[in-house]
Each structure stands twice: as structure tokens, then as C-alpha cells.
Amino acid sequence: MHIADVAAARLRDELASRRGIAIDCGAARVRMRSDLPALADLLRIVYRGYQLADADRACDVAVTLRRARGLRRWIRPQVELVVDAARELEPFPADTPLPLLEWGLNFALATRLTCYLLLHSGVVERHGRAVLLPAMPGAGKSTLAAALSLRGFRLLSDEFGVVRPGDARLLPLLRPVALKNESIDVIARLAPDAVIGPRFPKTYKGTVAHLAPATEHVRERHTPAEPALVVFPRFDPGCGVEIEPLSRARAFARLAVNAFNYEVLGPDGFDALGRIVSASACYQLRYGDLARAVQAIGQLLDEAAVGH
């Protein structure tokens, strides 16, 4: 049974239980607990294509979203996120639970999933060949990954490039795509049938909403992809599409900067990153026209296949 089909009352009860609920995101299983009744309805929207996993099995990360203690429970109520018994992020207003949950999961995964090389990158795939979209926050990688996933590419992640040491294959770590500010309407216009959750204004990143991954992408969340293309995107509203090839040496250095745990893995991280750039054509992309950027990446992927 998909989460969208689970009765809200049952989901609320399971979230509030000691073991919570477990969700299989591909490269990691996450456990969620919460005493917030409203969270169940939000999860039924943005995790609609997932199934509840066996909550008795071990999970890679476990987070608890709860109402803040003390006066904040009653005056200007807040919610707080707890990871491994520690409050890792600042509390959010009580009417903004989903952004805190998703950003908290990002933090937990980035700091605990150290068996893989983790790149700060969107990842999509077509015909088994992966496109990495590494970028710093605000560069438009999530918007671009979302658009590609709605135009014939399979979404692996909008946040993590999960590289398996040894063979450097990209593993899905699939969760809802966080869209911010103007990008929410851009994606809604691009795909009117896309399932986008409610908007949360006044976060520290502005207004945030979450795009639910396609159910067929969720079904493929254990299918890896071979690296083929690395594109460093940067959104520039005054630009159409500009593409510049990058040397593999420069791409390696920029990927290392974008990695969460490159230094932690040591030689294994160096080897995995070397395999990625050796197998990929590398470019930087400046774009202001999302549709043209999507088309350009498709063409680059086709050209990389011919060149390889």
C-alpha cells in the first residue's frame, strides 16, 4: 500500500509510536517519529509513491519532529528536530514542520551516511546513464533536476550524488524535491499534473514547497546508474543557455569542494571521484531558460554517449 493510500489516522498513530515509520529511499532507510498530527497529511502528499517499510528493521538515520518544550509549546509555538537525541537545527515555527523535517534529514544523511562518497549534487538518469548537477545552494540545481525528472529523465536525488566506492556507480537517494520561491511556479507551469505539496512562506530560504517524486521513479530507487555527464549549473535570469566545456582536472577539483565527506573517505574518495570524471564529459552551464537548459542537457548526454 502506498503512503497516499494509508489512512491519515493510522499514519498519525504510527508516527507517534515508539518505533515511528520507516521509509526506504534507496541508498538509505530513514525512520521518522512525530507528535504533530498535521505531519501525516503532508507525508501522504509528498511521499505518496512510497510504501511504509518494515519499522522493526534497522534504519540508517532516525529523526524525531516534535513540539518544542517549555513556553514555546504555548506562546508562538515551535517545532524542533532531534537526531540521535540531540537537537541539531534551530526550531521552526509550528506551522512549518515539513521544511524542518526535510532539511533535518538532509543534515542527518550528510553527516552519517559515510559508507558512500556524498556529493552536493542533483542526479538524474536516462537509459542507465547518470547526469550529475553539482552546485552550491541557490544555483538552481534542484529546479533543474525537477524539470529533467518531468521531461523523460529518472530522478535519483535533487540533493545527494551518492557514489559507491569501488565501481563509482550512482545510487538513488530519492526524496521529495525542495523547490524555493519562483521555482515553485516555474515547475507548476512546466508540469501542471505534478504533485507539489503546500507552500511554506517565511522560512530562512523564503517560500518552500516540495515536489513528490514520480511513483515509477520510487519503484526504481534501488537501480543504480553509470556516470556519464557532469554539469555544473548556475541560474542567471538574464541568460538563455551558455555551455562551456570543463577539463576533467578542473571538474575533479570542483566536485571535491562540493562533496560532504571527501576528506573522510581519504583514498577511497579520491579513487571514486577520479572514476566519476574519467567516465564523464564535464561542462558548466549558465541558464535563464529552463526548457532550453533541459534540452541542452539531453543533447550533451547524447553527445557524451557518441564520444564514449
Mean pLDDT of the chain: 94
DSSP letters for 7-36: -HHHHHHHHHSSS-EEEE-BS-EEEEEE--
Give which of 120, 123, 136 is closest to 230, Cα–Cα: 123
Write out pLDDT tens, residues 164-214.
998 999 999 999 999 999 999 999 999 999 999 999 998 989 999 999 999
- The CA R_g of the chain, rounded to the nearest whole Å, is 19
Question: Does residue 131 carry a pLDDT above 60?
Answer: yes
Residue 16 has a pLDDT of 96
Q: What is the dihedral of CA 111, 115, 121, 127, to 10 degrees?
A: -150
Lowest mean pLDDT among 72-81, 272-281, 292-301: 72-81
Residue 86 has a pLDDT of 81
Decide: 144 and 131 in contact? Cβ < 8 Å: no
Would you place residue 149 in the very low, low, confident or very high pLDDT band (cuts 50, 70, 90)? very high
Decide: 52 and 15 in contact? Cβ < 8 Å: no
Question: Does residue 161 carry a pLDDT above 80?
Answer: yes
Write out pLDDT tens, residues 1-23.
799 999 999 999 999 999 999 99
Neighbours of 277 (CB within 10 A): 23
Q: Give how far Cα 180 sits from Cα of 45, 184, 201, 293, Å.
A: 18, 6, 10, 18
Cα 147 from Cα 142, distance rounded (Å): 9
Question: Does residue 74 carry a pLDDT above 70?
Answer: no
Would you place residue 73 in the very low, low, confident or very high pLDDT band (cuts 50, 70, 90)? low
DSSP letters for 173-214: B---EEEETHHHHHHHHH-TTS-B---EEEETTEEEEEEPPP
